[in-house]
Structure 1
Amino acid sequence: MHTDVLIVGAGPTGLALGIDLARRGVAALVVEKADKLFPGSRGKGIQPRTMEVFEDLGVLEEIRAAGGTYPVGMIWQDGRQLGEHHMADPAESDDGPLGPWMVPQWRTQEILLSRLEELGGRVGFGREVVGLDQDADGVTARFASGEPVRARYAVAADGGRSAVRRALGIGMTGETVDPQPTLVADVRVSGLGREYWHLFPPAGEDGGFLALCPLAGTEDFQLVARFPQDTDPDLSAEGIRKVVAARSHLAAEDVTQVRWASDFRPRTALADRFRAGRVFLAGDAAHIHSPAGGQGLNTSVQDAYNLGWKLGAVLGGDAPAALLDSYEAERRPVAADMLGLSTRVHRGETRRGAATSQLGLGYPRSPLTEETRPAPSGTVRAGDRAPDAEADGTRLFDIFRGPHWTLLAVGPDTGPLPALGVPVARLAAHDAYGTGVFLVRPDGYVGWAGETAEGLTGYADRLGAAAQA
């Protein structure tokens, strides 16, 4: 079988990339070792920046309908409510869609898969990659069963234990964030309200922390329990019921169902490289986070969003293959920063808030970023996320939406604009943008900025911006 892009792994990363490529008309095949989608809640927090990505990919309304806001924490002791605990700093006003938003990971993946299939894509389940061979023209993937697949490029989105990363010989550098093992499970519980995220601090003989968070859009709670170092948590229904009874005022029988359970030791790790020839690493295959702060799934989806438009441009003949070099140059520093943030949140050194929203992330030092204004009049510079605004009664995000670049002129003195064949938006004024001309990338970041359009055509030609209209 032949395809343009082989995506290994049908988690949020692989599915988001599959959607982005499908809407660009790129032939892509997503393969997954398991026989079905991941069944647990694990990555349940969707940050504001990822909500913006999901809006562009066409799944925002489904994500909104499937989830809800985070509840306030409630601290319990000896069966009594001691008081509320706010898990994050108050949200600062911003121009992004709703978020953070809670959707259990299994439901997010169902929504992404449905969108992928709507666009004509598909996932090959039960297909385990056991080897990869590369040459100058492409990649050949071998499977435990079935025929090999030949692709022009491949993407490893197969998780923290990535078989593709190991086959490529790419190492990971990291550390243990917390030596204490953590159990996470999706459970049904009776006798506990859903208006709070219930927190049970260590007490009594068991001496372990327990949290039960109502999962928005479901009847389930996500259970999180920490254990002493060198403990092997009992993942059976009986073992989980014992933990709940020992650490809370609930009885063992109040846990009526255990729908999924897993355990892990929080750690952080960053791949030494995000690319080997024609194979790219994305998501957990490239970076492993502590779950604190909700950065893992979000950083992973944005890997896919960064890589998708670049693969589409190169495979469509609109941009040189060298454009793909910018993927690692842009995403590896961001992943390193997010790993540090997750670790600080885990250790209580930083609270969830503006930094974890990911709205402030950008690519100011990217080889794709050109800021030509000597003194920008606003706060938005080349490399920054392009914020939303209203242009002649239309949202900028509605103009940005889709696989194209967008030319934005702000202010009365920007001069004539070149005919790039891309959508054009004009603003009379905007505090964030100030004044100037901005060429906004397909992933919503400002690639080029100038007081006028002088020099813009050369940049657009170099990156194929006009050809991708």
Structure 2
Amino acid sequence: MTTVLIVGAGPTGLTLACDLARRGVALRVIDRAPRHVRTSRAKGPNPRTLEVLENLGVLDAVLATGSAPLALRKYRDGRWIADSDPFENSRPTPGAPYDRGRLMAQWQLEQVLRDRLAEYGVRVEPGAELTGLAQDDTGVTAELADGSRITARYLVGCDGGHSTTRKLLGVPLEGETAPEQSMVCGDVVAEGPERDRWHQWFDEDGAVMLCPIPGTRSGWWFQAAPERDADGTPVAPSLESFQRLCDRHTGTAVRLTEATLLSTYRVNVRMVDRYRVGRVFLAGDAAHVHSIAGGLGMNTGIQDAHNLGWKLALVTSGLAGPGLLDTYQEERLPIAAWTLETSSAGMRAVLEAIKKPGGGLEAGITPETSALGLGYRWSSLSQDRSGRHDTSGAPAGAPGAPSRAPGSPAHASAGDDGDTRLRAGDRAPDAPCRDTATGTPRRLFEVFAGPHFTLLGFGAGSTAALREIAAERGDTVRVCAVDAGPQAAAGGQVPGLDDHGGHARSAYGTDGDALVLVRPDNHVGLLAPADGTRAVRDYLDGLGR
């Protein structure tokens, strides 16, 4: 019996596999496709996903493979109208080092993640199709199309919008389909357009969009409003139909010589009402599908996986109680609802924008779509023992029920009382600091990177608590003193950082001495006073119990 069986080897499944593998969890990853496909569907990680990928240790490979987002070149009636850059006013900040995503094909990101997984000795098993499921109190048995069976303590369905796992569980994907919002897509080889722009031809009777695929010499993403026959039925995508669409909207500007991965995309806005049935979980498109506006699909799935991985690892190792797994649904189901609402609003904005010359896809790109403002203030894992916030009710920005969205990033980081300081459940910010012992630059994200909790202690008054937790918890919790002075490192147990620019204190809202416990997925779990050793112990010992 393996510990975790992952069904589906897309970005969601591979992220989960990498996270579990680095924690030493025994796992298998199966995928129904007979070989790894070069599918260029999603166009790359957003800023929050880049932080996840940094934590997994693959950011350098992602940055080397992809490119910065391109400016958008808009045309009308075949003529150039305007160029626009949705990120021209964006800048990195000390707390958020990635102000924009990365442009790369989905297959390129999958290759980066597979390579990382192979470093842990785990490889995807292709051509393994799930056909049946059975579970009891001890585990799950997966039946495959070839008649073989795999038993595991837990199974995670990361197998896409047509998820077999979801169907076998009998969990409906509820929502609606917008047949009028459809497009034909494919990967094409094209001649004509310059590769330093994302070209978009919008006209009254349709649209064609061409975006260069990074790392290729002549590969492009093709998207267009479909041709329709006499009775209004969309014409099936093909090289010939793509060329006719190009001729109609671009004139002679584009010549296509090859078209692959042809598909017709219809906007579905649907999600499940639960992420878990017994020992089986759903993640990514298996749990939620929506408009492509804002590029949230793949990114939300990767962030699902990052939320679930550490919880599965702690439960299966006995370091947390089984109730910890319930918090996966508690935290991610409201995020799925927010994603559906945000992407639908983005699609409406795009459809309205393209009616006017110069309008385009940038209408669907907002600060919210970076996902940097999303957190879990409403979660049972978000605890404030610092006394600086009223915790008598649901935190500001939290949904009242799983069917509600958690609100905008602005509401996720600022209370109704106007207090913008960090709260339990928020994403843990980065900050540039210096190593107290050596003076070399070191970021908080470097301290967070890995499969551990991080206990930040601000001020000299926190060092006793840091030493106690370090001695008790070993590798489970990494401790770090911020602005505690050279004495913090006495005995070698407490590495220290000098917050020379004041960025860490500003980001974490600490004027004096305090403790901040950061979860393995880089969200704040606990805020406590500097002498709050017991609060930290109670938090860690109470996980899932």
Superposition TM-score, scaled by structure 1 size: 0.93
DSSP 3-state at the match of 2:508? coil
DSSP 3-state at the match of 2:244? helix
Quick check: 1:378–1:432 contact (8 Å CA) kept in 2?
A: no
Greater mean deviation of Cα atoms: 138-147 or 228-237: 228-237
DSSP 3-state at the match of 1:348? helix
Kindly report which structure 2 residues correspond to 1:192-271, keeping only aligned pairs within 5 A, or say none. 192-203=193-204, 207-219=205-217, 220-227=219-226, 231-250=233-252, 254-271=255-272
Deviations 1:231-257 (A, max 9, x none): 3332222222222112212367x1122
Quick check: 2:515–2:527 contact (8 Å CA) kept in 1?
A: yes
Match of 2:524, as an amino acid? V
Are 1:432 and 2:503 an aligned pair?
A: no
Deviations 1:266-325 (A, max 9, x none): 121111110000000000000102111010000000111111100000111111111101
Quick check: 2:236–2:264 contact (8 Å CA) kept in 1?
A: no
**In the superposition, relative to structure 1, how do residues 89 and 360 fare at CA in structure 2: closer, same or farther (>3 Å)?**
farther
CA distance, structure 2, for counterparts of residue 192 and residue 228 of structure 1: 22
Superposition TM-score, scaled by structure 2 size: 0.81
CA distance, structure 1, for counterparts of residue 335 and residue 233 of structure 2: 34
RCO comparison, higher one (Cα < 8 Å, 6+): 1
Q: 1:371 corresponds to which residue?
A: 384
Q: How many residues align?
A: 460
Q: 1:292 corresponds to which residue?
A: 293
DSSP 3-state at the match of 2:522? coil
CA distance, structure 2, for counterparts of residue 304 and residue 409 of structure 1: 28
The Cα of 1:78 is off from its aligned counterpart by 4.0
Quick check: 1:448–1:456 contact (8 Å CA) kept in 2?
A: yes
Kindly report which structure 2 residues correspond to 1:303-382, keeping only aligned pairs within 5 A, or say none. 303-348=304-349, 351-375=364-388, 379-382=421-424
Runs (5+) with no aligned partner, structure 1 = none
DSSP 3-state at the match of 1:347? helix
Quick check: 1:180–1:265 contact (8 Å CA) kept in 2?
A: yes
Output the aligned Cα RMSD: 2.0
Deviations 1:109-147 (A, max 9, x none): 111111111111111111111100011100000011042
The Cα of 1:215 is off from its aligned counterpart by 2.0
Q: 2:428 corresponds to which residue?
A: 386
DSSP 3-state at the match of 1:74? strand
Quick check: 1:396–1:425 contact (8 Å CA) kept in 2?
A: no
Deviations 1:319-363 (A, max 9, x none): 111110100001111111111111111110764132111111111
DSSP 3-state at the match of 1:432? helix
CA distance, structure 2, for counterparts of residue 427 and residue 161 of structure 1: 48
**In the superposition, relative to structure 1, how do residues 354 and 380 fare at CA in structure 2: closer, same or farther (>3 Å)?**
same
CA distance, structure 2, for counterparts of residue 178 and residue 97 of structure 1: 39
The Cα of 1:464 is off from its aligned counterpart by 8.6
DSSP 3-state at the match of 2:258? strand
Are 1:410 and 2:458 an aligned pair?
A: yes
Quick check: 2:6–2:30 contact (8 Å CA) kept in 1?
A: yes
CA distance, structure 2, for counterparts of residue 89 and residue 290 of structure 1: 24
CA distance, structure 1, for counterparts of residue 544 and residue 531 of structure 2: 17
Quick check: 1:391–1:427 contact (8 Å CA) kept in 2?
A: no
The Cα of 1:224 is off from its aligned counterpart by 0.9
DSSP 3-state at the match of 1:64? helix
Quick check: 1:270–1:287 contact (8 Å CA) kept in 2?
A: yes
Quick check: 1:200–1:247 contact (8 Å CA) kept in 2?
A: yes
Q: 1:457 corresponds to which residue?
A: 537
DSSP 3-state at the match of 1:45? coil
Deviations 1:171-217 (A, max 9, x none): 122123462321111111111101211111125xxx21111112222
Are 1:398 and 2:446 an aligned pair?
A: yes
**In the superposition, relative to structure 1, how do residues 8 and 241 fare at CA in structure 2: closer, same or farther (>3 Å)?**
same
Greater mean deviation of Cα atoms: 151-160 or 415-424: 415-424
Greater mean deviation of Cα atoms: 347-356 or 151-160: 347-356
Q: 1:25 corresponds to which residue?
A: 24
CA distance, structure 1, for counterparts of residue 508 and residue 420 of structure 2: 5
Match of 1:399, as an amino acid? V
Are 1:44 and 2:43 an aligned pair?
A: yes
Match of 1:305, as an amino acid? H
Match of 2:288, as an amino acid? H
DSSP 3-state at the match of 2:455? strand
The Cα of 1:384 is off from its aligned counterpart by 0.8
Are 1:446 and 2:524 an aligned pair?
A: yes
